[in-house]
Structure 1
Amino acid sequence: MKKSGVLMPVFSLPSPYGIGTLGKGAYKFADWLKASGAGIWQVLPAGPTGYGDSPYQSFSSFAGNPYFIDPDMLCGDGILPEKDLPRKLPEGKAIDYGALYASRRQMLQAAYEHSGKRLKSETDEFLASHPDIRDYALFMALKDKFGGRCWHDFPKCLVRREKSALEKYKKLLADRTDYYVFEQYLFFSQWKSLRGYVNSLGIEILGDMPIYVAPDSADVWANHRSFQLDGDRRPSFVAGVPPDYFSEDGQKWGNPLYDWKYMKNHGYEFFIRRAKAASELFDTVRLDHFIGFANYYSVQPDAPDAKNGFWRDGPGKSLFTTIEKEVPSLGLVAEDLGIISDKVIKLLKSTGYPSMRVIQFAFGDDRTNMHLPKNVRKNTFYYTGTHDNPTTLSWWRALSENDRSRAADYLGRKRMKAPDTFIKAVMDSRAETAMIPMWDILSLGDEGRVNRPGVTVGNWTWRMEKIPCEPFDLSRR
């Protein structure tokens, strides 16, 4: 049976507190999805964001974004005094992460001082079942201690995680570490409630599992053997992609690369922990940059761009065999966009995972283009666009006359209306799953764009002003 879903980041939900939260706006959006006939709510990575505010550069793969913790729910549960609620802001205004950093920390600190001791047994129980939060909490406490510096700039004894140094700072920063555990307890409690509600409506949550982790993260600091690092524990090589549709210089992401040989010899233990953590938040995950599991692009750390990187072999099928064995409940979707080699095709076929196609990539002069509706296979998640694309309206406005004519001829339409024509084409295709970003449902232009790959500022700030009064018919074919 064909499914339809909506891509909508949590941070873009309506909220009076400057960013989308796991509160009333999320529950109302779930109701709207149900009324619209959606079976999937796709979100972006849910971890705590660092510099640049990208959900793909998180301080931890195992922690949740504290900005998503809903203030009104804390107040209603007696965890936060009403006097400490943050100032309300106009709904729909772009996210100001600088202002959030100050106001949310102040609010969560007030909640901790008010309820931390009272909830100590609950947070201890939470920590026992989420052991990776220990590393995250200490990591964040150390960043506070050392002025927010990258962990490479901690004292060398901490960079190298010497046992005596770790014990010393665990005692010294015990209260601050407890605060970060408390913060995560709140996040996971609210997420669990929301997921339960969404699932009760017959809707799955499709999450996103970035292939790589951020260089300045508890992940790399606490699991250094799983990465290609030099003697100072800095990346020997970094991740990226060669020049493509999104960037003529390629993209130098800067993430440390995995030591796949070490990982395989240790049962992919770190990656399995990541998958288990993802399964607590999501029903299914989109495997970001699936190509990198077949062959990954390696760039010198000091290179100015990604033009001169080189390809190396990824872990292949053995990683996914292990994930399927250890985390059988987690559904997987392959984000296989980019340079598709025979090796990638073979790996995808061996896993049987659904692939991704994007109609915005379809209308060149190649009739064999895999993104054209007639060429899209059944086992596919078919999108009008992703978070990395322009909105479909903006894309259509920027399209050349030749490409517009090709699209109209192909779709058999004398009059083209973006995004509606393309939403219909995606939904009428043979793909088993049609995915429509919320900004296309709202027919937004540039004002609705979420991310511009290769641009470091101004991303991840779009917010929906209010949930539509009327449902969008996602059951139409």
Structure 2
Amino acid sequence: MNLRSSGILMHLTSLPGLFGIGDMGPQAYRFADFLAQTHQRYWQILPLTPIDPDHNGSPYHSPSAFAGNPLLISPERLVQDGLLDAADLAAVPELPADRVDFSAVNAFKEKLLERAYDRFKARGRDAEYERFCRRHTGWLDDFVLFDTLKSYYGNVSWDQWPVKIRDRDAKALLAVQSELAEHLNLRRFVQYIFYSQWADLRRYCGQKQVRIIGDMPIYLPYESADVWRHPQFFKLGKNKRPRRVSGVPPDYFSDTGQLWGHPVYNWDGLQKKDYAWWIQRLEHQLGLFDVLRIDHFRGLVAYWEVSAAAKTAVNGKWMPVPVDDFFGKIAKHFAYLPIIAEDLGTITADVREVMCRYRLPGMRVLLFAFGEDFPDGSFLPHNHIRHCFVYTGTHDNNTVRGWFENEADKKAKKRWRSYIGRNVSAANISWEMIRLAMMSVADTVIIPMQDLLGLGADARMNDPSTTKGNWHWRLENDAITKPLTRRLRNMTETYGRS
């Protein structure tokens, strides 16, 4: 990560395509071609784990730390592999092209995958599939069982399941596994297809010299296979309900903080097992990506803990993590840690010390550069360091144009004009911000696709202050033009990032 380079941030769901959501099909390969043509060395995406349509499709709210998102499976690739016929794709419902309707896409793709599974079964024994199941048995069996039971028990919370199933009584689990064997096998097949398609896409990106930056949420929701399987690693009560939950104190995004509501880790329980679950998780993620961004990295040093009964995150407290022991074990297990630490928000000296000790680069976001700490703030380009990742904005920010038009006050705009040395219109501000990023001394620059296109606030991916209207943005089919390709390639070459 110490070579001068740049890349684009865009999740797979935002790709164009025929099936209501971006996926690992032809458009993903075309986007990889675009990155290679413009000399981009990175494609940064959001988490690939399954989503819950009832939680607005957030990739940060997943029932598994290991499983793949079935909605990202490409129907066109299933046709190529002989698991579907072209006629199966003819019955696509009318789905919006400019945004994702997660519930509608989920209903459509579920039927396609069931059809593909029936054809897969008819083929008979598949050695590659069996190898996949054996290789991933450490998480796969628990996930498919959890996902099946969730449906079987009418989607009620897992603490409301029969007590023996809730508490994972061995005999009770064997009995239910036998009864639901076909449902379990369908879900294993879906994971096999997901991982096969992902491996093909990642291999193609590698051939194009494009490295993939993945993203890992620090926490998991209560309704996840991992919390059900490992309750001792989370702060749960005797009834298996969370006692303490996650969040952050009041910040840039909210005066009352952010109440995420995930159960926080029981670090004493994790320490007793030498952090085996965390090591397994990191090993899995680093096997999927070339570089891994850990979201809310500071929570691995100290975390904000809130009562499970709280309505906001205001009345929480910082709790310590056995950070030296934890990272010492991690460092012994991994010879190399290609990790980006998301170090935005309230960052204290102990977090900086851990990042420095393990050579973990942090993030500099240009949208934060024109606040009251101007001109001394660390987000300003003249204060950047080489060993960091510079962003115009992230998936949690407004677009650059949206920030300029709707969020930046008169003082911020005055600071911007003073820094750039001239007036810039809203239509041109995105590329001026991109230029500032490219000029930086920082080794790596990542540009959200929306900023590359100069889009406004309606193209924002996520607003952390609300749970509504997020994660739906999609790229228009003809958005990537030859002039755009030339412009990005020329700027990349001009600032020595090719």
The equivalent residue for 2:103 is 98
- Deviation string, structure 1 residues 359-406 (Cα, Å, up to 9, x no partner): 000102312211111112111100000000000100011211211111
Name which of structure 1's ranges 390-399 and 143-152 shifts more when overlaid on structure 2: 143-152
The 3 A distance-change label for structure 1 pair 312 and 36 is: same
Matched, 1:435 2:438: no
Matched, 1:130 2:136: yes
Matched, 1:238 2:245: yes
Structure 1 residue 236 displacement after superposition: 1.3
Of 55, 61, 64, which aligns to 1:60? 64
Of 100, 112, 116, which aligns to 2:117? 112
Matches within 5 A, 1:389-404: 389-398=397-406, 399-404=408-413
Matches within 5 A, 1:140-289: 140-289=147-296
Alpha-carbon contact 2:93-2:108 (below 8 Å) kept = no
Matched, 1:406 2:406: no
Of 369, 372, 386, which aligns to 1:378? 386
Alpha-carbon contact 1:16-1:91 (below 8 Å) kept = no
Structure 1 residue 133 displacement after superposition: 0.8
Of 441, 444, 447, which aligns to 2:455? 444
Structure 1 residue 90 displacement after superposition: 6.2
**Cα distance in 1 for residues equivalent to 2:222 and 2:156:** 12
1:469 counterpart letter in structure 2:
T
State the secondary structure of the residue aligned to 1:58.
coil
- Deviation string, structure 1 residues 153-192 (Cα, Å, up to 9, x no partner): 2112111111111111110110000000000000000000
Structure 1 residue 89 displacement after superposition: 5.1
Of 16, 23, 26, which aligns to 1:24? 26
Structure 1 residue 88 displacement after superposition: 6.3
Q: TM-score, normalised by structure 2?
A: 0.93
Alpha-carbon contact 2:95-2:101 (below 8 Å) kept = no
The equivalent residue for 1:87 is 92
Gaps of 5+ in 1: none
**Cα distance in 2 for residues equivalent to 1:384 and 1:262:** 39
State the secondary structure of the residue aligned to 2:92.
coil
- Deviation string, structure 1 residues 91-130 (Cα, Å, up to 9, x no partner): 7321001111211111111111111352643322211000
The equivalent residue for 1:8 is 10
In angstroms, what is the RMSD of aligned CA positions?
1.5
Matches within 5 A, 1:293-312: 293-312=300-319
**Cα distance in 2 for residues equivalent to 1:49 and 1:247:** 24
**Cα distance in 2 for residues equivalent to 1:287 and 1:119:** 40
**Cα distance in 2 for residues equivalent to 1:320 and 1:440:** 35
Alpha-carbon contact 1:317-1:351 (below 8 Å) kept = no
The equivalent residue for 2:347 is 340
Alpha-carbon contact 1:275-1:327 (below 8 Å) kept = no
Alpha-carbon contact 2:247-2:260 (below 8 Å) kept = yes
1:107 counterpart letter in structure 2:
L
Name which of structure 1's ranges 151-160 and 28-37 shifts more when overlaid on structure 2: 151-160
Gaps of 5+ in 2: none
Q: TM-score, normalised by structure 1?
A: 0.97
Alpha-carbon contact 1:297-1:311 (below 8 Å) kept = yes
Q: Identity over the aligned pairs, expressed in percent? A: 38
Number of residue equivalences: 477
